[in-house]
Structure 1
Amino acid sequence: MHFPQRVQINEVVLRDGLQLEAKIASLEEKKALFNGLVQAGVETIEFGSFVHPKAVPQMANSGELYDQIAGDSADPVLIALIPNLKGAELASSKGVERVNFVFSASNTHNLQNVNKTTEQSLKELEVIHTFCQTNGIIMNVSIATSFGCPFEGEVPSSRIHELVHKLIDLKIDIVTLADTTGMANPRQVSDLLESLKKVHPEQKFNLHFHNTRGMGLANILAALEAGADSFDTSLGGLGGCPFAPGATGNVCTEDTVHMLHSMGIETGISLEGLIETSRMLEKVVGHNTPSYILKAGPSDKKYPVPNN
Structure 2
Amino acid sequence: MAWIELHQTLPAHRKIMKLRRILKIKTPQAVGHVAMLWLWSIDNAPDGDLSRVDIEDIAEACEWSRSAATFVSAMKEAGLIDGDMKLHDWDEYTGQLMEKREDRRKKDRERQARYRAKKAAQHAAQKGQETPPAPPPPPDPPEPSEPPQEPPQRPEEAQDAPPSKAMLAAAAVGRPDKATGVDPGLGKVMDFYLNRINATPSATSIEELGAFVEDIQPEVIIKAMEYALDEHKTAWSYIRGTLRAYRSRGIRTLADLQRANDEHERSKQRQEDTRNAKNRRVAPRGGARSPDIDPLKGFHTDD
More strand by share: 1
Question: Which structure has the higher relative contact order (CA within 8 Å, separation 6+)?
Answer: 1
More helix by share: 2
Q: TM-score, normalised by structure 1?
A: 0.18
